[in-house]
Structure 1
Amino acid sequence: MTAHDFSFEWQTQDQVMLKGRCWLPEQPKALVCLVHGFAEHIGRYVHVAAYLNAQGYGLMGFDLRGHGQSGGRRGHTPTYEDLLENIREMMALAAEKFEGLPLFLYGHSMGGNLAANYLIRHQPNYLKGAVITSPWLRLTQEPPLPLKILAKVAYLIFPQLMNPANLKLEHLSKDTTVQQAYGADPMILRKISAGMFTVVSKAGLLAIRQADKITLPVLLMHGLDDKITSADATREFAQRMQPELLTAHYWENMRHELHNETEKEQVLALIVKWLDDKMSVSETSV
């Protein structure tokens, strides 16, 4: 049972106010720091927090800039590095507030893209490992060539130009209640800027090429019925990782949001098992 559920906020160096939430059990054995996907917000992970809390793990996360209750232009980021810096700031807050508590990173979809690049570029050896689910490394179906050209031109001239996200609700999960809740959620974004699309797409391809630079254990998961982000790209990423650091699992008949699928208990149980394994390895090496 959750003993503590509290909100927090901080102001970035470029004066954007970011809003976060933290869920803690009575005696957490570790804290999982979450980076959500594009268009959504941390409030969609309450059930994930409840599951992790019941197993002794805390969950902490924030609404990315331009998302949810955080500030910033909707569906846009000035640079990709701003997103990574905000993750670093969250991790610094976690380390300061929960000194001595082991930390894990958890990124879903665009958050998986960010988590992978954070591991590659920042080399955060203070982490025990990372969970990456359905990462946006490539899209399952790339936009038509004219739209890709328009996005590239807009990125150079007017990166704030907004385009429809064109997400189909049935691609999220087989669970119709998840689809309906997403469709009715007023904090869900319906558009993405040319700048956001371009920098995240580039970073996804970079993560595939540089996956061998990751030096921490990673649990990598993707649904094979994902019609949003490419499971094939995730396999390419996995093939370039150092094999001794990788635990990969590909779920048959599951769609994009593994933690919201009809079989989500299996997914969350595997995450907890992996966390427990990493914690036990850490304990025996002390």
Structure 2
Amino acid sequence: MNHLETSYKTHDNQELYLQAWMVDSPKASLLLVHGLGEHSSRYLPLVEKLNAAGVSIFTFDGRGHGKSAAGKPTAYFESYEDYLKDIDALYGKVKSYVPGVPVFIYGHSMGGGLVAAYALKYQPETAGMIMSSPAIKPAEGTSILLIAVSSLVSKYFPRLKALQLDAQKISRIPAEVEKYLNDPLVYTEAIPARTGYELLQMMRFIQENASNFSLPFLLMHGTDDGLTNPKGSELLFEKAKSSDKTLKIFPGAYHELINDLDREEVMNLIVNWIEMRIPES
């Protein structure tokens, strides 16, 4: 496989870090959208499995994240709509870079919510969408007061560190939690108020429009996910009008399904789901 690195200037002049893992004679391509606070290089085990199945992978570090943050990651962005514009521009690049093969979209956590919102707002042509632990409903126990005052805080103190996420909830494997906490490109401080507010707006939009979701999709969530709410995945699955839709719930699983105890089963499920949707050549 060939690993490519480059950068992309967004519509509002931000520079994003892009990378791709290309295979010779790809059967399909996929755009991968990472989760809140993390970065795209954390997906190498999944990339390797997909490359082995003949799928070229394109991804990027989102605004305020990883190598796209000028200096230290902040997990800050002004508007989730800006993020959707980034996804749309990069999805267009993927389609033109690998023409004539099915294109898939994968999103985890915040990335899962973003690609769901992208599907609803932009109606992209895609062979299918994979959403892992998507942010569609706030996690159980999220402060009602925090949600209520989020628009005020976001307006006047957009960079205020407002919501601390518990890294222990990403995986039941202690070594994975350690790796996450010790990665300098992972943002582990409290989430900025504006980012949190924009994610709430995104989730509200998905909930209100879920019945318009018509693309083929695979949804995966763990029952013990303490960072995004499995009920959000159930809501999208029930309301979506897609004729091709799958919901897989992993009992006891935490947030990062490809870094948790069921990871082999999860990655095989993703690969098999994609392979079933690639026409025989």
Question: TM-score normalised to the size of structure 1?
Answer: 0.92
- Please give the per-residue CA displacement for 1:227-279, whole angstroms capped at 9, x wherever unaligned: 11111121112110115231111111211111111221100111111111111
- Please give the per-residue CA displacement for 1:174-194, whole angstroms capped at 9, x wherever unaligned: 111111100101111123221
Q: Specify the alignment match of 1:262 in structure 2.
A: 261
Q: Distance in 1 between matches of 2:121 and 2:150?
A: 26
Q: Distance in 1 between matches of 2:214 and 2:140?
A: 31
SS class of match (1:210)? helix
Q: Distance in 1 between matches of 2:262 and 2:144?
A: 36
Deviation at 1:142, TM superposition (A): 4.0
Q: Distance in 1 between matches of 2:25 and 2:258?
A: 24
Q: Distance in 2 between matches of 1:197 and 1:142?
A: 15
Alpha-carbon RMSD across the aligned residues, in angstroms, is: 1.7
SS class of match (2:249)? strand
Deviates more, 1:142-151 or 1:111-120: 142-151
Deviates more, 1:27-36 or 1:108-117: 27-36
Q: Specify the alignment match of 2:11 in structure 1.
A: 13
- Please give the per-residue CA displacement for 1:57-95, whole angstroms capped at 9, x wherever unaligned: 121110000000004682221211100000011111112
Q: Specify the alignment match of 2:137 in structure 1.
A: 138
Deviates more, 1:197-206 or 1:154-163: 154-163
Contact 1:208 1:240 (C-alpha < 8 Å) held by counterparts = no
Deviation at 1:31, TM superposition (A): 0.8
Q: Distance in 1 between matches of 2:96 and 2:206?
A: 29
SS class of match (2:277)? helix
Q: Number of residue pairs matched? A: 278
Structure 2 portions without partners, runs of 5+ = none
SS class of match (1:209)? helix
Q: Specify the alignment match of 1:112 in structure 2.
A: 112
Specify whether residues 124 and 243 from structure 1 end up closer, same or farther in structure 2 by C-alpha distance, changes over 3 A only: closer
- Please give the per-residue CA displacement for 1:186-205, whole angstroms capped at 9, x wherever unaligned: 11112322111111112112
Residue pairs, 1:187-226, within 5 angstroms: 187-189=185-187, 190-226=189-225
Contact 2:28 2:101 (C-alpha < 8 Å) held by counterparts = yes
Letter in structure 2 aligned against 1:267? V
Contact 1:16 1:71 (C-alpha < 8 Å) held by counterparts = no
Structure 1 portions without partners, runs of 5+ = none
Q: Flag as ranges the 4+ runs of structure 1 deviating above 6 A.
A: none
Q: Distance in 1 between matches of 2:34 and 2:20?
A: 14
Q: Specify the alignment match of 1:90 in structure 2.
A: 90
SS class of match (2:243)? helix
Contact 1:36 1:109 (C-alpha < 8 Å) held by counterparts = yes
Q: Distance in 1 between matches of 2:208 and 2:30?
A: 26
